[in-house]
Amino acid sequence: MLRNPRLTGCFTAITSPFTRDGHALDLARLAEQIAFQAAGGVTGIVVSGTTGESPTLSEAEYDQLVSAAVEQARKHNILVIAGTGSNSTHHAIELQKRAKKLGAHAALSVNPYYNKPGQEGLYRHFMAQADAADLPVVLYNIPGRTGVALNPETIERLAAHPSIHAVKEATGSTDSCSEIVLRCPDLAVLSGDDSMTLPFASVGAVGVVSVASNLLPAEVTALCRAFLDNDWAGARLWHQALFNFCRTLFAETNPIPVKGAMAKLGRDSGAMRLPMTEAKPETVARVLSAMELARTGLPSRGTVESVGPSRTRLV
């Protein structure tokens, strides 16, 4: 049995909506984005993560963003996971305490980047953060961004801490995912790559922290609900329809493509903050084209029936 059964399904790694000049957060747009996600049926949202351009947020903006997200999420009965990662253990501890104080339901803590610690250093870093506040921790294993990976053996050691409830596994390796599930059966394993959501679920993962659901929350939610309900044939149809769209979202570094597409769709999240720059026009066109193909791909493989504003299902 999972240590925290609530950490299953689709969690949207939402963009941080900035003003057009990029100088401030746009909290009115944030409220709209969260309402859109709730209408799509997601389990929760992740704020101040990679997709939320967390390295560019000031401390005041971090507090403002997490506080506002918690307030809006409560209205819609969805969870908020706040990014608390840092390559400074001291800073990560402070963020953990602040996330708890601000009302987040869990914390997402990324591997320390740039420092490239060994496995013992990683273990001590995450244990110190888990000790800092009584808040569920989701480990974030993404070596492509951080230059270092959490080994399954280290995750097993960390799983002994009662506050460590899940791992966002963004290695792209089904072998790594399989080993984590076998070693830590009570941890919720969430895919960190949209295209790997179903492959990881096939070996025991229970959801995804999704970029694609910024645009298609109901569809990514339907994929998760299908495999969580043991409807593997239905899940495969959703996976096949969404696969190319998910890959296209990473034609440029995340979150450049998704923010470009959102702007084109009238759901503008404001400026990209340097050192990130706006999406190329051809990237945005590819994303929007792939999104439309994803939407039309499902009816050609099965009938999609609407079951309310936040859900769709195969029949």
How far, in Å, are 36, 63, 101, 273 from residue 276 at the CA level? Answer: 25, 22, 30, 6
83 forms beta bridges with 108
Rounded Cα gap, residues 61 and 22, in angstroms: 12
Other C-beta atoms lying within 10 Å of the C-beta of residue 66: 25
Letter for the amino acid at 286?
Answer: R
Q: How far is CA 294 from CA 58, 242, 243, 297, in A?
A: 37, 5, 8, 5
State the catalytic residue, choosing from 62, 100, 123, 140.
140
Closest CA to 188 of 171, 176, 201, 198: 201
Within 10 A of 292 (CB to CB), how many other CB atoms are there? Answer: 11
Known catalytic residue at 140: yes
Residue from 114, 168, 264, 280 carrying the catalytic annotation: 168
116 among known catalytic residues: no
Active centre residues (catalytic): 140, 168
